[in-house]
Each structure stands twice: as structure tokens, then as C-alpha cells.
Amino acid sequence: MKGPDRDTGWIMRRVTRRALFLGSLQLAVAGTLAWRMRNMQVDQTDQFRLLADENRINIRLIPPERGVIRDRNGTALALNEQNYRIVIVREDAGDVEEVLDRLTQLVELPERVIARTLEDTARHPPFVPITVVDRLSWRDISRVAANAPALPGVTHESALSRIYPAGPDFAHVIGYVGPVSETDLKRPDVPDPVLQIPDFQIGRIGAERHFEDTLRGTAGSRRVEVNAVGRVMRELDRRDGEPGSDVSLTIDADLQSYTQARMGPESAATVAMDVHTGDILASVSSPSFDPNLFVRGISSADYAALNDSRLRPMSNKTVQGTYPPGSCFKMVTALAALEAGEIDADERVFCPGHRDISGRRFHCWRRGGHGRVNLVSALSESCDIYFYELAERIGIDRLNAMAARFGFGERFELPMSSVAAGLNPTREWKRANRGEGWQIGDTINASIGQGFVLASPLQLAVMTARLASGRKIMPRLLKARDGVEAEVSTPDRLGISERWLGKVREGMDEANNHSRGTARSVRVVLDELRMAGKTGTSQVRNITPEERATGVLSSEDLPWERRNHALFVGYGPTAAPRVAVATIVEHGGSGAQAAAPIVRDVLLHALHGGMPPLDAYPEAQRNRIETQQEELARMISLRRGAAGG
């Protein structure tokens, strides 16, 4: 019976080997665990102590870098600057009020800042960083960093902030950025999580608002490890976002700044436009405001001063303001009559100083009248009676149709806020809005740009560009987006006879250059820069019969708000037009005295490519102009320095 004993021995030997193997394996595992425990308890004690102190991982959004807005030549009009700020996280800080009290011992914090911070921390989720104060110096940031252990939940950051280096010069075109509001967050079409970042800023008006999606970019993110007191221990990883795309406008920065300085403190607006492309070279509303105030947080006193001013610095008068165009509208009336065949350019009309129509007397601006005038002399001398005659012949329907071809009553699509359509009145409009039928007197008033007719300076510039080119010029403000040029197409012709356009241009030329022209005093004497234009004075009050009998009061004798608006439109050079300019000076009185000199200077700057040459002015005016130019150059330099500071 040897077989079973041998089998038993063999089995026992196998069991023993397995036991040894399993025992060795268990010993190895136990040894490894023991080594790991020692390593964790001794060698890595500091690291795991931090983890034991409720360390956690936070994910924080990184605001994208906003795109730059430039002028047509690459000059930066809106860009970003480095900014140091302090933020606080409520769930890390614990008692926010106590932490802020400690922070005030290191950095000056006004009461309104503390109150706003407490309000923001209560309003937002506890894990969201809230900006306490920004635009701090490196010295302030260093003090906060050195005292970090005593400031739970407080960290310092480096960020970018919007800045407008030209200050007020582009405020109405560029606009400004401001914090995201509760209204913005409630909009159903705003899913971008970056808007949830406290104090994140978006475009509020102007190009900043219109191109918001282009300029904003996309947010990045970073994962940070923070300890129990909210102090960031390390950054684990970072994913940079996409910066916003740059936008280039058609504006010429030098011309814009010059125009702003040239208008000075007047309540006025000027638009300069390329007559071939429709490029807006300058769009200036005066007085203006500093958009940097809104980025940094405008005070209640500063905002009240802007909002309450009778000169309305917050309003963009170039596109929002609508005014009776006055005699600047007479070219439209002339073309409507010429195209309808109701008058020949050489036919003369007698002007005795007034005209009786339907039992009412309508007066010419010149009390004694102009005598016999034709189309060219009527435009040159701005005879009202001539255009009353045309109005009786053509009626409001044909006048309205011609005005529409020159842009009146049209709202142009531009990246500006609240672009107005003005008013090109019709019979239907009056019936719907006034509950009355159209009267012949309404047509008479409309023929000289009074009555119900309203236009913005932009529309007057468009009209002038179309007159100069004979084409349906459309204004444009966007030159390029992210380096891609905006498409420019050749505008269609207006479909108006070149002969008739030539006659109107001749009348505008004589208005500036004929001895009896209403704008003779602001002529340009260099043939290569010669200007053609038209004066306009729009009434804001009715002149009573008693006043006409005893003498109409001059503007200087009236309160400012009752004085007439002064207008002027012009283009040049007359031989080959390149630029059109329109200006209105609110309550400026005479168009020839208040508005025409501004148009001449702006037009010369645009054509010359810099400060207007002195030899373009009549010799008797050159000493005065030279002094004026020196003052303007000094003013522009000071304003740029102040904005840059």
C-alpha cells in the first residue's frame, strides 16, 4: 500500500510551497503598506495636513481679453490696460464684514465701496469671487499679499481694464463698456457664462455695444487649490480663452479730434463723409463726455452734471438729433421742380420780399427782396420766394419723393445708438399724426426745410454726398472686422439728370464764391481745394406780425434756447469732389457765421490731411486763422495728454 502514502506526501509538499508563496506575498503587501503609511505620515505630513484642513479645488473663469477698436489708419481708440485688483470669496472669508475691516487697515476703502461689496457678496453665490477694489498700485497689492494669512478669502489678481486714450473725442461713436446688469442676465439669449463674473463689463452704447459679440471673445478657466481660509495654494491647470477680435472703423482719428476741438463748447454736431464710398471720416457731437468715467465708475455728481446739462452732452446729436434743415433743403426742392419739368433753370422769378398764398403772407429772409432770380442765383443768395414758387408748382408728393431719394426720412443702419430717421412728411403722415388734411402752407414751409421736415446731421451729410457724386451713397462706419475688410460696392446712380445736378452744384459753388453768395466770407481761395456749400438757418420760434413791423429781434437779444439753429453743408474740391461735411450749431443764429466756418475748416483738414493750409484762406483772415490753429493744436495736445493720464 505504498501508492497512497506517496500521494499524500506529494500533496503536502505542494501545500507547503503554496503557503510559503502566499505568506511571502502577504508579507510584501504588508511591508509596502507600512512603507507607504510611514511615507504619508512622516515624509508627506505637511502636504496631507493641508489636505486634512479641508483643502478643495475651485474652478474659476478667466475673463477674455476684449478686442481693440481702431480707426481707419490703425490708431487704437479703445484698448485694454493692466489693472491690479482685490477680490473676496464669501464662503472662504466667513465673516465678510470683519475681513473687510482688516483690509481697510491696509488699503483705503471708502464706505460706499464696503457697502457695495457687502451687497454684491450677499447677492451672488458664495463661491463667486467679488471685486472689492481695482486699479491699485503695486505697493498696495504687496501689502495685501504680505498679510494674506489674516485675510481669509481675499486674493489679488492681475486683470485687464478698458481705456479710451482719446477721451471725449470718440465717446459718441465708440461708446463705453459697463458692468453686466440684472436685466442683461435675465435675457433669454445670453447663455455666455462669462457674464456671471462679477464686474465683467460689456458694451453699453455705440460701437462697443453693436460689436459686443465680436469684441468679447470667449472665457478661459483655471483650477486652483485653496486651503481652509480660502488662500490659493497653487494653480493646478489653466485653459486660456480666445481673445476678442479687433474692429476697425472708417473714422479718421486726427480729423475727429480736430473737429471736436474746432467746435469747442458749442452745442453742435458735424459729420464728414467720403462722397464715393460713404465712409464716415468724422462724426462729432459737442459737448462730449469722458467715457473712461463710466468704466471706472462714474460718481453721482458727475452723472447728474452730464444728465442735467441743457447742452445734452450724453446725446449723440449727429444721429439722434433731428432739426429743421432750413435752406439746406432747397437743393432738393430745386431738383424736384427741374425733374418734373415745372421750371427751367434759367427762368427767373421776382422776389419782392414776400408772397401771398391762400390768404397768408410768407416772407423772404431778406426784407427788401432779391429782385429777379433764377435757380443758380436763388441758391447762391438763398431766396425763399423762388422756392415758394416751386412748391406751388410741384406739390408735396413730388417734393416728398425727391427728398426720399436723398435720404430724408430714412434710418441708416450704423453701429451707433438710437439712429433717428428724421421726418419726410406726407399727406398720410399728417392725417395720421395730426388728424388734419395737408395744406398748401405746409408745402410752402417744407420747400425751405421748415414746417414738419426734420433731418439729422448724418442725413444732411448723406444728401450732400449724393449731390456731389450723383450716386446713392450709403453711410458706413465699419472698415474691417478681425482684419477682414468690409465689402464696398459701387452705389447706384440717383437717376437724376447730370444737367440738373450740375445746375444745383453751380448754385452751391456761387453760394461760397460769388460776390453775393451767402457764404462768401468763408470761401476757400485755393482752386485745388475750392468748396461749394449751402447755408441754412432754421427757426425755432414764430415771428409775429408786430415784430416784423417793428424789426425782427437779433439772436443776441433772445434767450439762447429761442435762437435759430445754424446749419451749413459743403463738399470739395468742386472740380472733383472727395469729401462732404454737414454741421449744425444749436441756437447758433446764422448758418453763415456759426456753422459755415466749422465746415470749411473740417473740409480743408480732411482734404489736406492735416491742419488746414493758411494759403487756402482769404489773405485778410490768415492772421486770425493762424492764431486759431495754434490754439486748436494746443487744445488737442492737452486733451490727449489728459486722456492718456
Residue 87 has which C-alpha cell? 477680490
Contact 240, 102 (CB under 8 A): no
Reduced to 3 states, what is the DSSP secondary structure of residue 390?
A: helix
How many degrees, rounded to 5, is the angle at CA 611 between CA 459 and CA 514? 60
Adjacent-strand bridge partners of 354: 363
Pairing relationship of beta strands 247-249 and 484-485 according to DSSP bridges: unpaired
Spacing of C-alpha 46 from chain mean position:
56
Pairing relationship of beta strands 371-373 and 349-351 according to DSSP bridges: antiparallel
Amino acid in the structure at residue 19:
A
Amino acid in the structure at residue 406:
F
Active-site residue 327, yes or no? yes
Contact 595, 584 (CB under 8 A): yes
Give the C-alpha separation, 295 to 208, whole Å: 12
Give the C-alpha separation, 643 to 638, whole Å: 9
Give the C-alpha separation, 298 to 135, whole Å: 14
Contact 328, 448 (CB under 8 A): no
- Shortest CA distance to 509 belongs to which of 255, 333, 269, 331? 331
Amino acid in the structure at residue 483:
G
Active site residue: 161, 285, 327, 380, which one?
327
- Shortest CA distance to 585 belongs to which of 268, 263, 260, 261? 268
DSSP 34-49: HHHHHIIIIITHHHHH
Give the C-alpha separation, 533 to 463, whole Å: 12
Pairing relationship of beta strands 154-163 and 349-351 according to DSSP bridges: unpaired
Which residues are catalytically annotated?
327
